Amino acid sequence: MKLIDSHTQPGKRHSPLSSALQIHSTDDVKQKVSEYLKQSRYFEYFSEAILDKFMSLTEYQCLPKGTVLLSQGQTNQEVFIIVNGSVSVEVDGKYIYSLSRKGDIVGEMSVIKNQPSSATIKAEDNLELITISSALLRKSKEEFYHELYHIFYKWFAHILSDKLNRTSQKAKLYEDLNKELQTEIEARKMAEEVLQESFQTIKEQQVQITQELDEARHTQQVLFPETLPTISGAQIVCKYVPMEQIGGDFYDVVELEKDKVGILIADVTGHGISAALLSFMISSVFKNCAPGLDSTEMVLNLTNGFLCGKLPESKFATLLYTIYDATSRELVYTSASHPPGYVIRPQTKELFPLKTEGIMVGCFPNDIANYEEQRFQLQPGDKVFLYTDGIIEVSNTEDNILGDEALESWLIEHGELPIQEILDQLYEHCLEFSNYQGIGDDVTMIGLEVLE
């Protein structure tokens, strides 16, 4: 084993040897590193003789925090084995994960495939590692260490299979296949052919999953009205931005009769596929309950009655259902623990919350859910604003949330804007509040403006 010291080899990117190991000689390094490596499950099948050969052909290095081992897109001729410390893996400047276990390997694929590095690898703290050059690998094959060469690639395959398992559960099938093939085929063939096939399969599965999510997203669009009803003397608008390709928020606008519409906004617990499946279920029940009824309380009672006891444990939905009669300008509403909507009256800079008693849909029978109905008389120029909790729960870099009070102040200050601009500018305000790091939840907003 060679000790690499930046004082003795100008141009190297390595620091002086770590004092943490208290190293005094090459034998001391060899002994210390050997002890560390034996603790790693990656080296458990190395015999003492093989480990000695391995140590004699490698270089021990100590790197300071922040050192870049590999740069994405650059040619790599070295494989690194972590002895102590951790490294970060970044792709296109974005952090992906960290490696910190003794025996973790870095840079092996670019050496095996003789291609540029696919990621940037950087020391997260003071790092102790062993370096194997590609020239050394060739030397171990061509000269006198054929057995060591075989061990190298058996070791590569073992570590790469482990990485695949962490990348995707589906890759576990191929990790098992790799283990079987290790006893049947030449290690190099396994590393270069079978693992490439595994990577290709994972890539194809990722494409398939993306396609399936796209199909699910298109299917979920069925929940939303294709066009919003036109109603005399009023305008209805909406804005929907899911956190993922598919989400748990949904809304509906149903035309009950001439100049009378029902407006629903809902939020299902969770995100992604599971929340979307529940939103399909709840939306279907609502669509069957709402037509022909002008009582919001009755519609929620019917919806909850169908869903109670049928949702998975710890799953529920909050709903706010309103009915607007354009002839009388009366708004009827019932809430199932949903964030209160608001009536914005810009002429007087007043804000009226729309909230009632009643708990989440699907949790308890109607006698406990206790839904109630309230009415509000709208005036020309009034604006009705409904939303899901992604708006008030957006957080900034100090982990402070926007909250109800800030939302109410913003609505009063911007109440004179047209209703569509209120939705658009409020969404931009939330992004700005988060320092453009993302809102972190599905966002749904619906607005109704009574025209003057």
CATH of residue 78's domain is 2.60.120.10
Examine the domain organization and report whether 163 and 238 are in the same domain. no
Examine the domain organization and report whether 230 and 372 are in the same domain. yes
* Per-residue model confidence as pLDDT tens digits over 236-269: 999 988 776 556 788 999 999 889 999 999 998 8
Examine the domain organization and report whether 333 and 424 are in the same domain. yes
Examine the domain organization and report whether 80 and 173 are in the same domain. yes
Domain termination residue (choose one: 210, 240, 273)? 210
Examine the domain organization and report whether 187 and 296 are in the same domain. no
Examine the domain organization and report whether 16 and 146 are in the same domain. yes
Describe the crossing of helices 272-289 and 296-307 by its angle, rounded to 10 degrees: 130
Which residue is associated with the tokens 């100008």? 10
Q: Residue 232 CB: number of other CB atoms within 10 A? A: 9
Examine the domain organization and report whether 205 and 230 are in the same domain. no
Q: Measured between alpha carbons, how far is 371 from 360 in angstroms, rounded to an integer?
A: 10
Examine the domain organization and report whether 142 and 229 are in the same domain. no
154 inside domain: yes
Q: Measured between alpha carbons, how far is 353 from 386 in angstroms, rounded to an integer?
A: 10
Q: Which residues of the chain have pLDDT under 70?
A: 1-29, 33, 36-46, 54, 57, 112-113, 136-195, 198-199, 201-202, 204-224, 244-247, 271-272
Examine the domain organization and report whether 186 and 259 are in the same domain. no
Domain termination residue (choose one: 155, 187, 210)? 210
217 inside domain: no
215 inside domain: no
Examine the domain organization and report whether 332 and 357 are in the same domain. yes
Edge-to-edge strands of the sheet including 317-325? 249-257, 260-268, 317-325, 330-336, 374-377
Examine the domain organization and report whether 288 and 404 are in the same domain. yes
Tally of domains in the chain:
2
218 inside domain: no
Q: At 382, which CATH number? A: 3.60.40.10
193 inside domain: yes
Position 20 scores a pLDDT of 34
Whether the predicted model's global pTM rises above the 0.85 cut: no
Q: Which domain holds residue 45?
A: 2-210
Residue 193 half-sphere exposure toward CB, CA atoms < 13 A = 8
* Beta-carbon contacts of residue 121 (< 8 Å; ≥ 6 apart): 68, 69, 70, 80, 87, 88, 89, 90, 106, 107
219 inside domain: no
* Per-residue model confidence as pLDDT tens digits over 312-342: 877 889 999 999 999 999 999 999 999 999 9
104 inside domain: yes
CA distances from 438 to 269, 275, 315 (A): 19, 20, 25
Domain termination residue (choose one: 147, 175, 210)? 210
401 inside domain: yes
Examine the domain organization and report whether 37 and 88 are in the same domain. yes
